[in-house]
Structure 1
Amino acid sequence: MHDLRGVFTTAKRPDGMLCLLCSLTLCLLLSACQLPGQTSAPTSSSQQPQASSTSAAPAISDSLKSQGSMELQTFQQWITQIKTYEGQTDSYQQQYLSDQHALQTARTVSSYQSALAQTRAHVTAIQLPAAKVEESRLQQQLQQQVSDWENKHPHHDSYNNITYKMGFEYDNQTGIGTWINDDLSAAKTLADYQQIIENTNMYLTNFKAYVANSSDTTPSNQVHQTDLQLLTTYHKMDREVLVVSLAEQTMRVYNQGKLTKTFQVTTGQPDKPTPPGSWWVESRQTHIVFKSSDPKGSRYWYPDTPINYGMQYHSNGYYVHDSWWRAEYGPNTQFPHQDVTGDTAADLGSHGCVNMSTNDAKWIYDHVQLFTGIIIY
């Protein structure tokens, strides 16, 4: 018999590494041959589907909301101003309500900023129309008040038998109203209209003082309440100021609110009135020559005229100066009259300047400085 032990001892056993490779190969084959509809299980947690997350939108800050509230308040103030001067506000009120709703319902910073920008644009857009409405109303008030006054206060001139109107310096035919019309014709910007509004309010203030002063029986060489009121209004109680009363044809000089000197003057004739307002000395000059801006042959033309003392108070050529050809000053000398000198140039009021005797003009020249205030009413 054959000894079988030899067979078993000589047979080879499978190698361990070979078994491992076979197992891996089988797994790969099985995973590549999946049945339709089957999915393989994820092999790691990194392959798990991630849940999407949305970050919260930033909140609208209190500072931004405050800006919105301020713009709405400003918008409403402009609307109220237009109403005050009897302008139409329907379209602006609708814009306001729309802007208010947009700001209140905005939920994101960007939508709020967009609504805020729209509101600011509306606030900017309303300002020029509002200024135009205000100026138009102020101009109407001035014209109406002056017209009513003039119609009730005629001045009959016995010299030429012509009836003039007191207060012509303020009307819109030859007076300050023509300045307003000229300014409005040239106005383009908001700043232009704001300046015209400021000027018109000044004219209204001075005309009110003119009316009150016209019935004041206080002697011309004493303090007048209208003078003090104007000094207070224009913040000039703490300095030297020349105050010219058109109704009285008088200049009163105040220093620190105290009357220091009084002079009689002659102001502009009806066709060439002296401009009322709150002005100041722009220059001080001696021994100058005035040249007429009107052509020779015009009834307003005058020959070259030497002036001893001149204080310009408005850049359009308006001065306080001596008029050595005159002998008479004071009430009604702005109207045609017969001056005792016999000089026909003295028979009319000035061309808009404030005329004084040579000695009086010298006193003014010696006592005023650049920027000394001059109130004419």
Structure 2
Amino acid sequence: MYKALPKSQKFLNRRLSIVLFSLFLASTFLLSSCSGDGLVRANASSQKAIPTSTPMPTPTIGPMLQQQGSMQLETFQQWISLMKQYGGNTAHYQQQYTSDQQALSSATSLTAYQAALHTLNEQVLSIKLPALQAEATGLQQKLSQQANDWANKHTYYDSYNGTTYNLGYEYQAIVNYPTQGEMDSSQTVAAYQYAIGQLSNSLANFHAYQTDFSDKTPYNQIHRTDTQLLQKYGYTSGNVIVVSLAEQAMRVYQDNKLVNSFQVVTGMPDHPSLPGTWWIENRQTNIKFTSGKKPGQEGYYPPTPIAYALQYHSDGYFIHQSWWRTMYGPDMQFPHMDPGGSSFAYQGSHGCVNMSTPDVQWVYNFATVDTTKLVVY
């Protein structure tokens, strides 16, 4: 039989139902929230990060690099001008210069400018050797022309054998030896620079020779040309021996002061002495000179004892005693009579500087190896 619940009991049951339903709704909401948060995290983790890049600055052409380009262009033009001055063909190099100039001025990036500058540097290197070859050849031709022109106007008539000789023949000769040999063997910039230096010195010595030829100052006094050459070569201190081919004389200087002078005999026209600057390579006493020729051959002389000899050129050029002579001084390099001498005294030397025994003995005692300089002009 159904019994009605008390009112209090009904109220409690209704409250319990409401609480349980609220708990159910809350749990459902929580589960939904957890599931949604996990989905968001999963979605977030599944997305890949997209990196952002910072733009790099473009390298610029700095002022120092531009200055380097300008200086190299100037250097290139100087080499072109040098080559042109001495008759070299510069058309190809001038075209390269114009192209290099345009490439540098139109370069808009560092890479482009550096590439253009590299090309310019290579072309500067490539012109050096041909430019120096042109300069050396031009100087050789200049020396040859000047020596020949002067010799044609200045001659010596030798009454001893009725022959006329060119004066300054020593400078006509060095165009071929040693100058041509030096140029033929030159393969590098340094070798050509040496040959050019020697040619420049030869021209300076020749101009001094021309001036000295007309100088009436006695041989035993200081000559203006001596002073000029000593200054040019930086020989104003120490011991220096000066040989004048025009005067057939030697003057000895110590610290730019004249300390002694002598008359000498230098090389004959067929065997001229070498104009130039040298130094005493060695000193020898009581040696024997041989010609390396057989009797009857041109240039032969018998084995000859020499008391004093000072070598100044490795090809066998000496200042040495010439006991077979009694005459020294002007024109003795040409054929002449030497009443007190031997049969080998009638002409000049074979290229050496001949001196009397007492004179060369003084020079031998004065000179020191490697430090005493010699100027022959």
Q: In the alignment, what sits opposite 1:154?
A: 155
Displacement after TM superposition at 1:28 (Å): 10
Amino acid at match of 1:376: V
Deviation per residue, 1:180-217 (Å, 9 max, x gap): 11111111111111111000011100111111111112
Amino acid at match of 2:201: M
Q: In the alignment, what sits opposite 1:120?
A: 121
Aligned partners of 2:83 and 2:89 also within 8 Å: yes
Q: In the alignment, what sits opposite 2:302?
A: 303
Displacement after TM superposition at 1:2 (Å): 9.1
CA distance in 1, matches of 2:168, 2:155: 9
Name the CA shift for 1:91/1:176 in 2 (closer, same or farther; >3 Å): closer
1:374 matched to 2:374 = yes
Name the CA shift for 1:7/1:301 in 2 (closer, same or farther; >3 Å): same
Displacement after TM superposition at 1:345 (Å): 1.3
Q: In the alignment, what sits opposite 1:324?
A: 323
Select between 87-96 and 226-235 the one with higher mean Cα deviation: 87-96
Q: In the alignment, what sits opposite 2:278?
A: 279
Q: In the alignment, what sits opposite 2:314?
A: 315
Deviation per residue, 1:50-94 (Å, 9 max, x gap): 665421113233332232222222112212222332333222222
Q: In the alignment, what sits opposite 1:85?
A: 86
Q: In the alignment, what sits opposite 1:56?
A: 57
Q: In the alignment, what sits opposite 2:101?
A: 100
Amino acid at match of 1:289: K
Amino acid at match of 2:376: I
Name the CA shift for 1:110/1:237 in 2 (closer, same or farther; >3 Å): same
Q: In the alignment, what sits opposite 1:235?
A: 234
Displacement after TM superposition at 1:43 (Å): 5.0
CA distance in 1, matches of 2:276, 2:328: 21
Q: With structure 1 as the length reference, what TM-score do the two structures score?
A: 0.87
Aligned partners of 2:154 and 2:167 also within 8 Å: yes
Deviation per residue, 1:153-186 (Å, 9 max, x gap): 1222222222221111011xx4453311111111
1:179 matched to 2:157 = no
The alignment partner of 2:176 has SS state of helix
Amino acid at match of 2:185: A
Aligned partners of 2:326 and 2:340 also within 8 Å: yes
CA distance in 1, matches of 2:49, 2:257: 96
Q: In the alignment, what sits opposite 1:190?
A: 189
Q: With structure 2 as the length reference, what TM-score do the two structures score?
A: 0.87
Aligned partners of 2:324 and 2:341 also within 8 Å: no
Displacement after TM superposition at 1:369 (Å): 1.3
Q: In the alignment, what sits opposite 1:293?
A: 292
Deviation per residue, 1:289-321 (Å, 9 max, x gap): 222233454221222221111111111111111
Displacement after TM superposition at 1:255 (Å): 2.4
Amino acid at match of 2:242: V
The alignment partner of 1:181 has SS state of helix
Name the CA shift for 1:2/1:113 in 2 (closer, same or farther; >3 Å): farther
Amino acid at match of 2:347: L
The alignment partner of 2:207 has SS state of helix
The alignment partner of 1:178 has SS state of coil
Structure 1, gaps ≥5 residues long: 32-41
Structure 2, gaps ≥5 residues long: none
Aligned partners of 2:144 and 2:175 also within 8 Å: no
CA distance in 2, matches of 1:87, 1:221: 46
CA distance in 2, matches of 1:215, 1:71: 47
Select between 329-338 and 89-98 the one with higher mean Cα deviation: 89-98
CA distance in 2, matches of 1:165, 1:85: 28
Aligned partners of 1:169 and 1:176 also within 8 Å: no
Deviation per residue, 1:100-150 (Å, 9 max, x gap): 222233333332222222111111111111101111111111000011011
CA distance in 2, matches of 1:26, 1:336: 129
The alignment partner of 1:150 has SS state of helix
Amino acid at match of 1:132: Q
Aligned partners of 1:251 and 1:264 also within 8 Å: yes
CA distance in 2, matches of 1:289, 1:104: 70
CA distance in 1, matches of 2:223, 2:17: 147
Amino acid at match of 1:85: Y
Aligned partners of 2:265 and 2:332 also within 8 Å: yes
Aligned partners of 1:176 and 1:275 also within 8 Å: no
CA distance in 1, matches of 2:274, 2:159: 26
How is 1:19-34 mapped onto 2 (pairs within 5 angstroms)?
Answer: 21=31
CA distance in 1, matches of 2:166, 2:111: 64
Name the CA shift for 1:26/1:61 in 2 (closer, same or farther; >3 Å): closer
Amino acid at match of 1:262: S
Deviation per residue, 1:230-269 (Å, 9 max, x gap): 1111111223321111111111112233322121101011
Amino acid at match of 1:149: W
The alignment partner of 1:226 has SS state of helix
Name the CA shift for 1:97/1:305 in 2 (closer, same or farther; >3 Å): same
The alignment partner of 1:288 has SS state of strand
Name the CA shift for 1:249/1:17 in 2 (closer, same or farther; >3 Å): same
Deviation per residue, 1:299-350 (Å, 9 max, x gap): 2122222111111111111111111111111111111222213522112211
Aligned partners of 1:103 and 1:115 also within 8 Å: yes
Aligned partners of 1:253 and 1:261 also within 8 Å: yes
